[in-house]
Structure 1
Amino acid sequence: MNHGLTTQRILSIDALRGITILTMIFVNELAGVQGISAWMKHMPADADAMTFVDAVFPAFLFIVGMSIPFAIANRKAKGDSTAQLQGHILFRTLGLVVLGVFMVNAEGGYNEAAMSMPIALWSLLFYAGVILIWNVYTTPNATLKYVLRGAGIVLLIALAFLYRGGDDGAGHMTPQWWGILGLIGWAYLIACIIYQVSKGNLAALFGAVVFCLGYYAIGRTLNEDSGLQVLFSQGGHASHTSIVLMGIILSIIFFHGKGKKDNRRFAEAAVYTVILLVAGFLLRPYFHISKIYATPTWCLYSAAACTIIFSFLYWLIDLKKQSAWTTFFKPAASNPLLTYIIPFVIAALMHLLHVSWPDVFYQGVAGIVWALVFAVAVMSLVTVLNKLKIKLQL
């Protein structure tokens, strides 16, 4: 099932991950900026359109998919048994889901007055727990590692009990919509299962993509009063899983077997792109493009865009050896979880200290420039944190 995949990191995949992370930070900061063009914002749910902003989340899902074959091959190369491999997948999924649920509850649904601390402090303690649990410790003292991770787990459990939600303050943490990381976690789990069961067979993986999108389509067309509606209520997860599967397919297209000619790689990727675009075009009259609704057209067009971008990066970095410029992205690409949470840590800290950025940072061109500066600053901060041996790994 490893298809002759290398256990070495693929620079072009890391570059795509790093670029996606930079774009994510940029657009998240840009979200609060007024007086900018619509193409720099998320499209409304019913707009039948998408911008590059709407392609950031599916790009993450796609990269997760591209990484799965390599991750599984690497675990097997290290001697993991089947049980150990499945345990790793399950614990990674659990980590993503826990992170997602905590983060989404910190964003809304809380009742600060009923809690024993400000939500900003609660959030900062949560992120401290995350670092304690998932930091990659370099100390040879195994006892110290277990103590630090155990302290992080206890902290998260305590924060879960301290959380209060609802108007009356009697509510507790709920999954809500799982948060971005939670959605990635569920899609990752399902895609890993499908990849292993199919043994990486392309026909089977294409069939799984069709099944996921078909499942979504059936759920959207059923009458709300239909007794079958409950069976097709997870269409969003199915759509997200389809994007991860499409990322797996591209990895197999590019890296299946040894000695594959580059011309064949690009020819197959081109055909794959056409298939995705044509499928999206044919489905668009029935399912408009919408990130909010996670429609099949959004999934297919996003995957096609990722395929085109990755093909270019592979040509530029792996074939033409123009990789010096990727140095800036490497720290974040190898430490994506820490990079992802840093803006949330900064926001919580500023909220706790009752400070904010100047209003000019949220207006027009100045806001765009600030969002870019902020994104670059966060990426640079990760470089410093990496040197301080703070690296998170699920």
Structure 2
Amino acid sequence: MIATAALPRLAVLPRLNELQRGRVLPIDAFRGLTFLVMVWVNEMHGVTGISRWWKHMPADADAMSFVDAVFPAFLFIVGMSIPFAIHARIAKGDGWAALQGHIVWRALALIVMGVFMVNAEEDYVHPASMALPVEAWSLLFYAAVGLVWGVYRAPSPALDRVLRLGGVALMGLLALLYRGGPDGSQGLAPQWWGILGLIGWAYLIACMLYQLSRGRLPVLWAMLAGCVAYYAAHAALGDGATGLAATLLSQDGHAAHTSIVLAGVICALIYHERQDARTLDQRHARALAMAAALVAAGFALRPWFPISKIYATPSWCLLSAAGCVGVYVVLQALIVQVGATGWVAWVEPAANNPLVTYLLPFVIGAVMGWAGWGWPPALKDGTLGIAFCALYAAAVLWAVSRLNRWNVRLKI
């Protein structure tokens, strides 16, 4: 059984080592469900003959489907994990420099993965100019990821270093071999950073802000509002910003995503900060009040910032975060109060090995593309297509559970 851990009140950073050890079952359940739905909706991208509510909404639709809430759930669960991760590192004896190095390394890993993966998309790669098929290029990249960030035990520390440096060298070679752009003259570029890259930037910024806040909820709320204000300042100036102002306000997308991560941090502290006098029902009440505040703010900003995942508008961020808070309230009640925990085992493999869960469908897709295989058209159309994608997601989770048993893991 996974025990629920508690967080201390964060007056100063040295007290962070009071964190109790253990995992939090509702957070694991949230993470596992998020990755299950992620695999499902990613596979539905190519399904035809279904309602638009099963797809991402257009950029200017002023609406969102449940599909548009999956990426925010990624960001939110990253935020919920940040206090536990930082406290655990300090409990292990990390000083300030070691902690910052660990945070930067994790963020860099996500950003690098995101950049490589986004450049493999058909909108950016120029297949005719590539020295090898883009599917093979992608598979070599995933092999390099395994070498650099894989959990394995080499016979000696020296060989371990050689293998991991070999993975870095392979990534460097793949970067040199890459050709993109309309005529194949462009090299590897950030593009829009890719999903993992966006998460990496938001994680990095949120970790810095969390440490500056010392875990104080009013300060975190002010920081969340500051992210929204930053986005609004960029929108107000628009293309009129020049020079230093344009540079300083150029990260509005990262600020928007960070606001969702901070909402996850706040929700984690509401439920898991060590406050013995506060009952679970009182924590539910605080969380629901938080969700209500986010909903009110999201709709209040909607006239100026229509709901849009593509533009990462504050209304989309705040409403998505509110939905995540609501989901976590339900999970807390279901798992902690009702004691319904048996079902979590179905999604726990993804919670324990999230990066492999995320990457495995891309590996499968690259193998199928290189081999020229494809799913029968009947399985990618209508209601049958939706059901098939759900079955595919379940199969991926089953495969991850087998990989977990064989200790095929990634750790950053």
Offset, 1:3: 9.4
Q: Counterpart amino acid of 1:272?
A: M
2:25 alignment partner, one of 11, 29, 52: 11
After the TM superposition, which of the residue ranges 105-114 and 302-311 deviates more from structure 2?
Answer: 105-114
Residues 160-201 of structure 1: per-residue CA shift (max 9 Å, x gap): 111112233222100000000000000000000000011111
| Contact 2:153-2:160 at 8 Å conserved across structures | no
What stretches of structure 1 move > 2 A for 4+ residues in a row? 1-7, 138-145, 166-170, 225-231, 318-321
Distance 1:392 1:364 in 2: 35
Q: Does 1:385 align with 2:400?
A: no
C-alpha distance 270-166 of structure 1, shift in aligned 2 (>3 A): closer
Aligned residue runs from structure 1 range 94-133, under 5 A: 94-107=108-121, 108-133=123-148
CA distance in structure 1 between the partners assigned to 2:17 and 2:89 by the alignment: 14
Residue in 2 aligned with 1:347? 365
Whether 1:26 and 2:43 are equivalent positions in the alignment is no
1:242 aligns with 2:259: yes
* 1:73 and 2:87 correspond: yes
- The answer as to 2:235 corresponding to 1:220 is yes
Choose the corresponding residue for 1:185, options 183, 195, 200.
200
Other-structure match for 1:283:
301
Q: Deviations over 1:101-137 (max 9, x none)?
A: 0000011322222221010100000001111111112
Matched, 1:164 2:182: no
SS at match of 2:311: coil
Is structure 2 residue 337 aligned with structure 1 residue 319?
yes
Would the aligned equivalents of 1:69 and 1:248 in 2 still touch at CA under 8 Å?
A: yes
Matched residue, 1:57: 71
- Once the two structures are superposed, residues 14-45 of structure 1 have per-residue CA deviations (whole angstroms, 9 ceiling, x without a partner) of 10010010101100111111111121111111
Q: Which amino acid aligns with 1:193?
A: M
Q: Partners of 2:288 and 2:18 in 1: how far apart?
A: 22
Could you give the per-residue CA deviations for residues 276-300 of structure 1, whole angstroms, max 9, x where no partner exists?
A: 1111121111111110110111111
Partner of 2:223: 208
Q: Which residue of 2 aligns with 1:298?
A: 316
Name the CA distance, whole Å, in 1 between partners of 2:248 and 2:21: 39
Classify 1:76/1:271 alpha carbon distance in 2 versus 1 (closer, same or farther; 3 Å).
Answer: same
**SS of residue paired to 1:50:** coil
The Cα shift of 1:5 comes to 4.2
Query: What displacement does 1:141 show?
Result: 3.3
Q: What count of residue pairs does the alignment treat as equivalent?
A: 394
Letter in 2 for 1:135: G
Q: Secondary structure of 1:293's partner?
A: coil
Aligned mates of 1:367, 1:309 — CA distance in 2: 26
Measured in 1, the distance between the counterparts of 2:200 and 2:241 equals 29
Q: For 2:238 and 2:287, locate their aligned partners in 1 and report how far apart those are by CA, in whole Å.
A: 38
Amino acid at match of 1:80: D
Matched, 1:90 2:108: no
Instruction: Identify which of 243, 266, 269 aligns with 1:252.
Output: 269
Q: Secondary structure at the match of 1:297?
A: helix
Partner Cα distance (1:281, 1:112) in 2: 44
Contact 1:163-1:173 at 8 Å conserved across structures: yes
Give the aligned residue type for 1:98. Answer: V
TM-score (norm 2): 0.93
8 A Cα contact 2:19 2:91, kept in partner: no
Q: Percent identity between the aligned chains?
A: 52
1:353-364 equivalence runs, <5 A: 353-364=371-382
- Is the 1:4–1:256 Cα contact (8 Å) retained in structure 2? no
CA distance in 2, matches of 1:330, 1:218: 41
Give the secondary structure class of the aligned counterpart of 1:31: helix
- State the Cα distance separating 1:389 from its structure 2 match: 1.3
For residue 274 of structure 1, what is the aligned residue in structure 2?
292
Partners of 1:341 and 1:138 in 2: CA distance:
21
Aligned partner of residue 120 in structure 2, secondary structure:
helix
Whole-Å separation in 1 of the counterparts to 2:401 and 2:263: 31
The amino acid that maps onto 2:304 is Y
- 2:156 is aligned to 141
1:140 Cα deviation (Å)? 6.3
Q: Deviations over 1:316-365 (max 9, x none)?
A: 11232211110111111111001101111111101111111101111101
In 1: Cα distance, 2:215 partner to 2:17 partner: 8
- Distance in 2 of aligned mates of 1:167 and 1:309: 43
Match of 2:248 among 207, 210, 231: 231
RMSD: 1.4
How many Å separate the matches in 2 of 1:330 and 1:355? 30
- Distance (Å, rounded) in 2 between the aligned partners of 1:148 and 1:138: 11
SS in 2 for 1:116: coil
Alignment check: 8 A CA contact 2:125 2:179 kept: yes
In structure 2, what is the equivalent of residue 155 of structure 1? 170
Relative distance call for 1:210 and 1:26 in structure 2 (3 A) is same
CA distance in 2, matches of 1:3, 1:305: 32
Q: Name the aligned partner's letter for residue 37 of structure 1.
A: S
For residues 343 and 374 of structure 1, do their structure 2 counterparts lie closer, same or farther at Cα, with a shift above 3 Å needed?
same
C-alpha contact 1:3 1:257 (8 A) present in aligned 2: no
Shift of 1:156: 0.7
Q: Which moved more, 1:157-166 or 1:185-194?
A: 157-166
- AA partner of residue 132 (structure 1): L
